[in-house]
Amino acid sequence: MSTVAVGAKPPWKWLEPLLGFLSLGLWVGWYGLWMHYAGTRPHTPDPFTGRTHLLDTHGDLVYLLNAEKLRLDVVEWAAAISFIAAVLIDIIKHPFRK
């Protein structure tokens, strides 16, 4: 037996824009976090505190902790995956075409 109610609209029409806007918000957040780190982190590595991950912003080098690098990577991947999901929904389901 199906769990979808009779006459219910498929979620694609609201899910695709939601994923698109989520992706945009995550990219903007990623960029803001990157620029925040670029402006506030030390310019020399410090293995004793764990600042070993290089962040290069057009030649301005700063060093991040493992957690900071992971945070940047997770937000970047989440943005990419949500964008790809929105594109795939559009290609496969065509929610806004008649």
3-class secondary-structure state, position 12: helix
How many domains would you assign to the chain?
1
What pLDDT was estimated at residue 57? 97
- 5 domain-assigned: no
pLDDT of 2 > 90? The answer is no
- 6 domain-assigned: no
State both tokens at 87. Answer: 């594109």
Q: What is the mean pLDDT of the chain?
A: 93
pLDDT tens-digit series, residues 21-47: 999 999 999 999 999 999 999 999 999
pLDDT tens-digit series, residues 42-65: 999 999 999 999 999 999 999 999
Q: Can you say whether residue 61 is alpha, beta or left, with left for phi > 0 and alpha for psi between -120 and 50 degrees? A: beta
3-class secondary-structure state, position 46: strand
Q: Domain residues for 75? A: 12-93
Identify the burial level of 4 via C-beta atoms within 10 angstroms of its C-beta, where 0-12 means exposed, 13-18 middle and 19 or more buried: exposed
pLDDT of 80 > 70? The answer is yes
Rounded Cα–Cα distance for residues 35 and 57 (Å): 8
